[in-house]
Chain A
Amino acid sequence: MRSKREVSPLHVVLCIILLAVSIVAVFMVLGKSRRENPLLRTTNRKSFIVVIGKSDTSAFWQSVASGANAAAAEYNLDMNFVAPVHEESYEDQNDMIRAAINGRARAIVFSAIDYNGNADAINEAIEAGIPVIIIDSDVNSDRVSCRIMTDNYLAGRMAGEQAVHNNEGELTVGIINYDINSMNGQERERGFCDAVNESGRVAGIYTVNCLSTEESAYEETTALLNEHPEINTIAALNELMSLGSGYAVRDLELADSVDIYAFDSNVISVGMLETGEIDGLIVQNPYAMGYLSVEAAYNLINGRELSSENIDTTTTYVSESNMYDPSIQRLIFRFEG
C-alpha cells in the first residue's frame, strides 16, 4: 500500500532539477530587474547606431542631430551622426552606409540625397539584417522599416497656398530647387506647383536646380531674376536655398516686389523675415525627426513593434507676424543648454 509513497530516484532527480531551475530563475529575475534599472543600464554594452544625414552644416541638420543625441542619451545608444561634405554626393552616403554595415551598426537612420542612387546601398544594409529608418527624404526601397518625415507634398502645398493667399494678382513663380534626384525637394516642388496652379493666377513657373549650397542658390536666383524680372514669387525649397535666394533678393533690392517662401529656418532666414526678403517659412520639426528616428531604432533593436511605419512630423508656417509668438519662438530659436 505504501509502495507508491516511497521515494524513487526519479522523484529526487526531478526535485533537484526543479531546484536548479528555480535558483537560476531567481538569479534571472534579479538580473532582469537590475537590467531594467536605467541607472545601472550603462553596465551593458551600448548598441551602436548610425544616423546618416544629408549635411551637417545647416541648422536643420544640426537640430536633427541634436534630437538624435537626446534620444540616444535617453535610450542609452551609441549614436554616430555623419553626413557628406557636399549635399549632392550620394556616393559618399553609400560609402557611409557600407561603413555602417562593416561597423556592425544595429540600425541605420538615413536621409537619401538620391532617391534611386542610394537604394542599392540601403538594400544591402537591410539584407545584412540592419533595420533602416528613413527620415526627411525618401529612398527607392520598399523594405525600410519606418519613414519619419514631413509630408513634403503637403508642406509644398502649404507654401503655395500662402503665396496665393498673400498675392492677389498674377503669380510668376521661380522655384529654387536643389538636387533633382532628391525626393523631398521634388515633392515640395510638386506640392507648391499644385497649390499655385489651383489658383488659376499663374503666369509662369520657372524651376532651377542648383547645388545645395548658399552660393549656388544665390547665383542661380540672381540669374533667374535677371532673366525673368516678372517673377514675383520664389519658392526656396530648403534652408540653404532660402539663404541664397534671400541674399540674392536683398542684393537686387527686390525685397518688396518679390515674395520668398522658404523651407526650414535658421537665424539668418528668421532675420530675413523681419527685414522682408523672406515672406514665409515652412518650418519642419527636425528635432522631433532626429529624436523619433533614434527612438524607432531603439525599438527595432529591442524587437518591439513600431506604432506606425510612417510617422508624419509637423510643419508650421512662420511669417513676420507670428515669429515672436511664444510657441513659434520655441520652434525656430534653438535653446542652447
Chain B
Amino acid sequence: MSERKNSTGVSLSRAMTVVVVIMVFTAVIIALFVFNYLFRDSLENAAMTSAGQSVDQVAVTINNYTDDMVEIMDKLYTNSIEDPDSQEELFQNLINIRSDIVMVATYDSHNNNTGIWTNYDIKDMIYTNLSLYSVPAESDDSISISAPHVVSVLENYYPWVVTITRGADETFSNAAKIAFDVRFSTIARYIDEVGIGQHGYCFIMDSSSNIIYHPQQQLINAGLKYENTYLSALPDGSHMIDGVIYTVKTLENSNWKIIGITYLDETVNDRVRAMTLASVLIFIVVVLMTFLFGSLFSYLFTKPAKKLAGAMKEFEDNASGFVFEPIEGFVEVNKLSDSFEHLVKRIQELMEEVKEEETTLRKTELKALQAQINPHFLYNTLDSISWMCEEGKNEEAVAMVNALAKLFRISISRGHEIIPIEKEVQHAECYLQIQKYRYTNHFDYEFDVQESCKEYLCNKITLQPLIENALYHGLNMIDEGHISIRIFEEGEDVIMEVEDNGSGMTEEQVKELFINDGTDHHGIGVKNVNDRIKIYFGEKYGITVRSELDEGTCVVIRIPKVTEERKYEK
C-alpha cells in the first residue's frame, strides 16, 4: 500500500520549473543567435553603406574644391594670355580674396620661378622652394596636385599647403605653369569633420602609402600613431578585414586615396556582449522567478494536493474517526477538498446507517426468536403433549415433540438469519402441525412450493408469524379455516404467499399491521418480518397485504433470488 503512495512521480512545481527553464533557455539561445546574426548582418551592411557614403562625400568635396581651384586657374590662364597686363593685378586680387591660397607662383618651361604673389613676407634669400619640387617637369595642360608640404619661401612662416599646378601649352609672360599653394587645412577640415560610426574616421593616403593627411596628424607626426601601409594597395570600395571596414576611394585629379576606417567589431561585439550578458541575467531572473512561482504553486496547489492525499490515506486507515479539515488552495483544490469532504460525510453517514440497520436487524431477529420461545406457545404445546400422553396418544405425542424440536432447531439455525426456503417451509409445516394438533380439525392447510424455489434463501421465521397471524386473527371466528401457502418464482424474484379465508381486514387494520410491532399480542407480527426483509434485501422487497372483509387475507412476500448468504451475514 505504502509503496504505491511513494511511487516516483513528478511534482507539478518541479515539472513547471523544468518546462519554463527549458522554454526560456531555448528562447534566449534562439533570440541570441537570431539577434547576433541579424544585428551583425544589418550593422555590417549599414556600416559599409555609411562608410561608403562618408568617404564618397569627402571625395566629392575635395574634388569640388580642386575643381574650383582648377577653374580659377583656367580663368587666370585665359585672362593672362588675352591680357598680359592684367596678370599682376589679377593674381594680387586673387590672393586678397581667397585667404586659402597662400601663394601663387609662375614658372617657365625650365621650372624657373618667374613670379611669386603672396600676402606674406618673402624671405630675403630663397634657399629652397618646396613648391617648385611639387611642380611636374612636363608642361602640358594637365592638373597636378602635390603632397602636402610647408611653404619654404616665406619669412618665419611655414604653412602647410598642397601645390596645385596647371601646365600650359602656350606661354604668357615667361610663364609656362601656374602653381597655387593652397592651405592644406582647408582640405584637412573636411577630413576632420568626417566621423564614421563611433570610432571611425578617414584619412588620405597616396598611392605610395604616404599618409597625406590624418585627423590625428600630430600623433602620426609625433610617431605615436601608425596606419597600415597596405591600405593604399586596396582597390576602391569597402573591405572587411578583421572586423574593420576599410573604404577606399581614389580621387579623380590625384593619386590620393581617401580611406575610411570603421571599427565594426567593437560596436557589434560590445552590443552582442551586452546583449548576451543581459540575456544570461534575464535567464537567471526567469529561472529564479520560476522557482518562486513554483514555490507559490506548490504552496497553492501541490501542498494542498499532498495534504488532501494525506487526508485520504488517513481516511482509508480510520474511516469512522476521521475528521476532515477543509484545505485552502486554488479553486480546483478547493473543489476537490469540498467533494472529498462531502464524500467523507456521506460515507460516514452510510456507515452510521449500516450500523443502525445492523442493530435493528439484531434486535428484530432477537424479537423473532424470543417470540418463538413464547412461553404461552410453549405451555400450550407442552400442555397438549402432556394431554396426549395421558390419553395414550403416544404416536401423536411423539410427532408433536418432533415437530416442536424441529421448529426450534430451524428457528435457531445455528445463528443464521438466512436459511433456504426449504427449511423455512419445514419450519412453517412444523408450526402448522403443532397448531393442528392443538386445534383439531379447526382448520386445514396446504403447501404449494415450486421445487426450483427451495434452494433460494429467505429470512428465517418469515412464514411462521404470518401463519400465526392468519390463525389467530383470520380464522379465529370460523370453523372451516383454510390456509394456503404458495411459493413460486416471478421473474428475478421469489414470491411467498400466505392466504387465508378468514374474516379479512379493513384498510386501517392492514396499515396497522405495518406500524404495530406485534409485541402486545402473541406473535412478532408482520412489521418485524417486513423490516427484516427490507434491511436484508432492500427497500423494493418486503410484504404486501391484500385483504377483503369476510373474504380473506393474502400476505405476499417478495424477496430476490439469492442462493448465497451475503458477506456480512455471520
Contacts and interface: CB of A to CB of B under 8 A. Distances in A.
A330 B270 CA distance: 36
Interface stretch (A24-32, A78-86, A87-95, A245-253): A24-32
B268 to A, nearest CB: 13
Contacts of B291: 11, 15
B278 A288 contact: no
Interface string A66-77: 110010000000
Given A19-B288, A33-B270, A335-B217, A274 B127 contact: yes
Interface stretch (A1-9, A107-115, A119-127): A1-9
B281 A29 contact: yes
Contact of A66 (B210, B218, B273): B218
B321 interface: no
B221 interface: yes
A223 interface: no
A29 to B, nearest CB: 5
A57 B46 CA distance: 48
Given A1-B6, A2-B306, A288-B223, A271 B298 contact: no
Interface string B408-433: 00000000000000000000000000
B156 A268 contact: yes
Interface string A306-337: 00000000100000100010100111011111
Interface centre among A11, A25, A36, A292, by most chain B C-beta atoms within 10 angstroms, is A25
B299 interface: yes
B134 to A, nearest CB: 12
A15 B221 contact: no
B457 interface: no
B128 A274 contact: yes
B198 A336 contact: no
Contacts of A30: 274, 278
B185 interface: yes
Nearest to B13: A7
B219 interface: yes
Contacts of A70: 216, 218-219
Contacts of B199: 38
B159 interface: yes
Contacts of B19: none
Nearest to B124: A275
A12 B185 CA distance: 67
A72 B273 CA distance: 28
Contacts of B184: 335
A285 interface: yes
A177 B313 CA distance: 107
Contacts of B274: 29-30, 33
Nearest to A275: B125
Interface string A143-176: 0000000000000000000000000000000000
A29 B303 CA distance: 38
B150 A291 contact: no
B224 interface: yes
Interface residues of A, number: 48
Contacts of B149: 324, 326, 329
Contacts of B158: 267, 270, 333
B277 interface: yes
A99 interface: no
A35 B246 CA distance: 27
A314 B160 contact: no
B428 to A, nearest CB: 63
Contact of A267 (B157, B192, B303): B157
Given A26-B278, A26-B281, A285-B222, A336 B295 contact: no
B186 to A, nearest CB: 11
Interface in B150-165: 150, 152, 155-160
B222 A291 contact: yes
Interface centre among A26, A268, A320, by most chain B C-beta atoms within 10 angstroms, is A26
Contact of A5 (B11, B188, B189, B282): B11
B217 A7 contact: no
Given A30-B278, A33-B271, 17 more contacts: A2-B306, A7-B13, A19-B285, A22-B284, A29-B277, A29-B281, A37-B270, A66-B218, A70-B216, A285-B223, A288-B224, A324-B130, A324-B152, A333-B150, A335-B160, A336-B185, A337-B217
Contacts of B271: 33
A74 B221 CA distance: 17
Given A7-B295, A267-B157, A267-B158, A39 B198 contact: yes
B559 interface: no
A6 B218 contact: no
5 contacts: A33-B274, A66-B218, A324-B130, A330-B221, A336-B185
Given A18-B288, A70-B216, A333-B150, A267 B156 contact: yes
Interface centre among B123, B155, B295, by most chain A C-beta atoms within 10 angstroms, is B295
A42 B218 CA distance: 24
Interface residues of B, number: 56
B156 A271 contact: yes
Contacts of A333: 150, 158, 160
Contacts of A66: 218
A15 B198 contact: no
A198 B155 CA distance: 39
A26 to B, nearest CB: 5
Nearest to B9: A2
B289 interface: yes
A288 B306 CA distance: 77
B258 interface: no
Contacts of A330: 217, 220-221
A39 B158 CA distance: 36
A12 B281 contact: no
Given A22-B281, A22-B285, A285-B223, A6 B292 contact: no
B147 interface: yes
B288 A15 contact: yes
Nearest to B277: A29
A128 interface: no
Contacts of A11: 291, 295
A267 B274 CA distance: 51
A67 B288 contact: no
Contact of B159 (A29, A39, A336): A336
Contacts of B292: 12, 15-16, 19
Given A19-B285, A267-B156, A324-B152, A36 B270 contact: yes
B221 A331 contact: yes
A287 interface: yes
A203 interface: no
Given A22-B288, A288-B223, A337 B156 contact: no
Contacts of A7: 13, 294-295, 298-299, 303
Contacts of A292: 224
Contacts of A67: 218, 222
Contacts of B273: 33
Nearest to B217: A335
B151 to A, nearest CB: 10
B363 to A, nearest CB: 49
Interface string B151-194: 01001111110000000000000000000000011001100100
A-B pairs, top 9 by smallest CB distance, nearest first, are A288-B222, A330-B221, A33-B274, A7-B295, A287-B222, A26-B281, A333-B158, A19-B288, A333-B150
